[in-house]
Structure 1
Amino acid sequence: MRSPREDFEAAERRLARHYHAGSDLDPAGGSTPDLVSADMQTAGSASAAAPASFHADSAKQAVPSPSSGDDMPTVPIPARKAITTFDAASKRERIEVKPFATRLMRRTVTGAFGIWSRISTTVVRRLGWYPRVEPYVGYGTGDYSRLICRTVYSPEHAQSGVLIRGIRGMLAVAAPHTHVQASIDGVPLNTVQVGVSEVYDRVDSARAHGVEYAVSDSAGYLDLVAARRLEPGIHSVYYSVENRKPVAANLYTIPASAKVGIISDVDDTIMITQAPVFWKAAYNLLLLDPKKKASVPGMSVLFARIADLFPGAPFFYLSTSPWNVESSIRNFITDHGFPEGPLLLRDLDPRPKTFVPTGPQHKLEFAEQLMADFPDMKFILVGDDGQKDPTTYATIARRYPGRVLAIAIRQLSPKESTGIASVAGVTATQPIPVTDVPVFTGTTGSNLLKTMLPYLKAHLDTLD
């Protein structure tokens, strides 16, 4: 089996060869076969498969306008569809290995989602709605980029990325199997079949060249790994679908020189949601005006101080919140002065994979993906004790010795953690993790700042 780097290099040669020979790439995207996924079983393996080098010629090309197709560069960027928790289950989570009762429950749930999807799709189509793209912030290593978006149905004049209440986001109707054209800084992406396809993929053995579009999955999600060398900084990714103007999202390219990264939870870590109390969490997530969401006291100051201490350090916001509320969290981060960075959220539609990952599983998989994406980087993990961040972070530290610089756990107040669990005599918070990595605790960002910042300053020399 060829290495991922060889796969991408072969893809580049194939794309260039077909173009210069008068390739039969279908510009309309009407008759070219669907995208076939590569051999990637988990989010971690997807990121570990990143290419390390590309041809410099394609990296130098750029155009001023992403919407004028005639001005597009002639050498496209090879990209492949990643297998993540969006559309694949790990071996232990595959439905065929589960007991009969679990299989029955999963099929019931996925069937219910399918019925809702068919009914809602029929209704919105009769209303004249058609697909648009919800772009999400991506990130890259300099050698390759991770791009994520979702296709949903919406009225003609609806805009992407606008701030809405959570309930509206949760009721969004997915537009599955929609053709999406994408570009980075105006240079188009061509999706290619590389590597060995999974047994769950619809394999098209006749296709041996790239196409100018990718296809979203049954829940409307599209997760691509694009092979392109980019300068560190913020780049623009443009997505377009038929009858819609292109929409843009930021792409954060992390410099190879960055020695420290920050992985932070969102709920009750930077934003007060009272997640342990179900009805309060539901209200805050679904019904509360997004502009009225409250920040955890002192956390933005703590993050700003960490950013000052480690210039250029990327901030990754890893949350079990669904992608449906991405715009709400994105605006919250900006409005409350937190360092901007990629959001890594969760898909609550079980159909592509026949299950919904648990919160800890979701965080573990994406943390492992980041560990593989940035093998020379050490991480500061920030969470709270209202869910399972302490044990999840301890697991990460144990699996990746020497890669976790420090763990910060924000302790919830009794008001935030009191719910049915406490009435039943069960604590609603998690104990402090037992690990070799220093763990700092506090009820506010100011408490954490007083104890953790001196430690981080004392260990600056160890990062050289």
Structure 2
Amino acid sequence: MVGSMDTPDLPPIRARKTASSFDTVSPRMRIERQPLLIQIGRRVLIHSFNLWTRFSTAVTRQLDWFPRVEPYVGYGTDSYSRLICRTMLAPQRGKSGAAVRGIRTLFTVPAPHTRVKISIDGNPLRTVQIGESELHDRPDSSKELSSKYAWSDTRGYLDLLAQHHLTPGVHSVSYKIRGRAPVCSALYTIPRAAGIGVVSDVDDTIMVTQVPTIWKAAYNMLLLNPRKRMSVPGMSVLYSKISDIFPDAPFFYLSTSPWNVESSIRHFISYHGFPSGPLLLRDLDPRPKSFIPSGVQHKLEFIGQLMADFPEMRFVLIGDDGQKDPTTYATIAKRYPGRIIAIGMRQLSPKESALPSLTGMTTTQPMPETDIPVFYGTTGSNLMKTLIPYLAQSQMSDKQS
């Protein structure tokens, strides 16, 4: 239970702006390093997005909307936590964390430079944040006026690292902005010495989206009722069995979907009985220097961050062959030798992997050669027949050694 935001007898938790690998702009990705036509296209899109933001902000102000905070599930170790939320403009009766159709989340209006009071299990955060959360933004000393608050950036995002000592388990983070009731989100605290972790893709791995088929993916993401999203057959049972073998294993859900749809995916995971865990999504908004990271770049950087966060943890990677997961996972296995136990790869059916008929092609990708055992199956039940015995044998061997 979260207590008062200003509990006087609890020592404050120090927090600072995030400075992790996925915030750093790769020189290769900087807009000025791209071909001229790509530079022009990106700058036009950025300018258009900024115009939309200014226009939508003016309209919502006339409608008497005011800021609210949308909290995202956080994660961390026993010494620090990564807390992410977004401030946006919403009507007075708007509720945070609700599962809504994707098209509504895409047209959310950010509330930039909004101050947020945060507490973890009732302990208030005292931020030492300077300026924006993105490293490429210029520091703004005016944001240091009060350490009792953290300030969202120009797109409404707030990304903090809180330094503290928490017991492993699920904790509660409370976010409070002026004029709104506090909203809470889960914080998964994972010991740095944890042995096994699971990283799972979302689209077409646990959730049927048919991403390679453009119009079906658009309909599923934008218009379909979130409660009617289909789970890939057998995958929730597979994940439950993995959790039985490794009871302390955290599950990280990694997707190229934007943070805007975090609540819908979180509700899907809960509704279909998948093990709970933090979501690792990406920003939808184009940024002047780094633009929008590619799906491969996003996954490589987030998994790399997990490798750094939990240096003693080994991982089971689960994905599908329709969105470059085979190449991405093979790269991870090569880049971090000894850290990957096994790779589970869901094979898309011809119907799922078909591009528009004009191309006459499919978008599935073969798995590059790797020293890591790779298990295939079209459903969770197929994967279960081979992956589960291997993981059980691996666990037994670890206990005997």
CA contact (8 A) 2:120 2:174 kept: yes
What are the ranges of 5 or more consecutive residues in structure 2 without an aligned counterpart? none
Superposed displacement of residue 430, structure 1: 0.7
Do structure 1's residue 460 and structure 2's residue 395 form an aligned pair? Answer: yes
What is the CA distance between 1:222 and its match in structure 2? Answer: 0.9
1:444 aligns with 2:379: yes
Taking the TM superposition and a 5 Å limit, the aligned residue runs for 1:130-141 are: 130-141=66-77
**Do residues 424 (structure 1) and 363 (structure 2) align?**
no
Amino acid of the structure 1 residue aligned with 2:395: L
Q: Which residue of 1 aligns with 2:55?
A: 119
Does 1:345 find its partner at 2:281?
A: yes
Are 2:313 and 1:415 aligned? no
Contact 2:192 2:311 (C-alpha < 8 Å) held by counterparts: no
SS at match of 2:110: coil
Superposed CA offset, 1:230-286 (max 9, x none): 001110001111111111000001134421100000000000000000000000000
Q: What do residues 408-437 of structure 1 show as CA deviations (whole Å, max 9, x unaligned)?
A: 0000111211222x6424331111231110
Please give the secondary structure, in 2, of the residue aligned with 1:267. Answer: coil
Alignment-derived partner of residue 377 in structure 1: 313
Call closer, same or farther: CA 1:249–1:203 in 2, change over 3 Å: same
TM-score, with normalisation over the residues of structure 2? 0.94
2:161 alignment counterpart: 225
TM-score computed with the length of structure 1 as normaliser: 0.81
Q: Which moved more, 1:209-218 or 1:370-379?
A: 209-218
Q: Are residues 1:166 and 2:102 paired?
A: yes
Q: Is the alpha carbon distance of 1:161 and 1:98 closer, same or farther for their aligned partners in structure 2, counting shifts above 3 Å?
A: same
Tell me how far 1:293 sits from its aligned partner: 0.6
Q: 1:131 to 1:198 in 2, by over 3 A?
A: closer
Partner of 1:82: 18
Structure 1 residues 84 and 143: alpha-carbon distance in aligned structure 2, compared to 1, 3 A threshold: closer
Alignment CA distance shift 1:108-1:414 (3 Å): same
Contact 1:85 1:357 in 2 (8 A): no
Is 1:313 the counterpart of 2:242 in the alignment? Answer: no
Is residue 87–residue 217 contact of structure 1 (8 Å, CA) maintained in 2? no
Name stretches of at least 5 consecutive residues in structure 1 with no aligned partner. Answer: 1-62
Q: In the TM superposition, what is the alpha-carbon distance from 1:99 to its structure 2 partner?
A: 3.4
Match of 1:192 in 2: 128
What code does the residue aligned with 1:89 have? V
One of 211, 220, 228 as aligned partner of 1:284: 220
Q: Is the 8 A contact 2:25 2:136 kept in 1?
A: no
Q: Which residue of the partner structure matches residue 4 of structure 2?
A: 66
Deviating more after overlay: 312-321 vs 206-215: 206-215
Residue type of the alignment partner of 2:378: T
Aligned residue type for 1:288: L
Count the aligned residue pairs.
Answer: 397
Letter in 2 for 1:415: K
Check 1:351–1:84 CA distance in 2 against 1; reply closer, same or farther (3 A cut): farther
For 1:447, what is the secondary structure of its paired residue? helix
- CA positional deviation for 1:382: 0.3
Gap change, CA 1:256 and 1:74, over 3 Å in 2:
closer
1:145 partnered with 2:81: yes
Aligned partner of 1:360 in structure 2 is 296
Q: Render the CA deviation track for 1:111-150: whole Å, top value 9, x for unaligned.
A: 0000000000000010000110000000111110011111
Secondary structure of the residue that 2:109 maps to in structure 1? coil
Say which of 89, 92, 103 aligns to 2:28. 92
How many angstroms apart in 1 are the aligned matches of 2:109 and 2:119? 25
CA–CA separation in structure 2 for the residues paired with 1:244 and 1:458: 52
Equivalent-residue separation in structure 1 for 2:146 and 2:373 (angstroms): 48
In the alignment, the residues of structure 2 paired with residue 282 and residue 205 of structure 1 have an alpha-carbon distance, to the nearest angstrom, of 42
Superposed CA deviations along residues 269-326 of structure 1, whole A, max 9, x for unmatched, are 0000000000000000000011111100000000000000001100000000111111
Go from structure 1 to structure 2 and tell me whether the alpha carbon gap of 1:134 and 1:353 turns closer, same or farther (over 3 Å shift): farther
Contact 1:87 1:352 in 2 (8 A): no
Summarize the Cα distance change of 1:121–1:431 in structure 2 as closer, same or farther, 3 Å threshold: same
The alpha-carbon distance between structure 1 residues 88 and 218, as it changes in their structure 2 partners (threshold 3 A), is farther
Cα 1:107–1:415 shift into 2, 3 Å: same
> Given the alignment of the two structures, is residue 301 of structure 1 paired with residue 262 of structure 2, yes or no?
no
Correspondence for 1:258: 194
Q: 1:65 to 1:215 in 2, by over 3 A?
A: same
Q: Is the CA contact (8 Å cut-off) linking 2:194 and 2:310 kept in structure 1?
A: no
Residue 154 of structure 2 is aligned to residue 238 of structure 1: no
- What amino acid does structure 2 have at the position aligned with 1:108? V
Q: Is the 8 A contact 2:19 2:135 kept in 1?
A: no
Change (3 A) 1:168 1:338: same
Per-residue deviation, 1:103: 2.3
* Farther-moved stretch of structure 1 (353-362 vs 166-175): 353-362
How big is the shift at 1:83? Answer: 3.7
Find the residue that maps to 1:459 and give its secondary structure. Answer: helix
Q: Which amino acid aligns with 1:232?
A: P
C-alpha RMSD of the superposition = 2.2
- Return closer, same or farther for 1:405/1:209 CA change in 2, 3 Å cut-off: farther
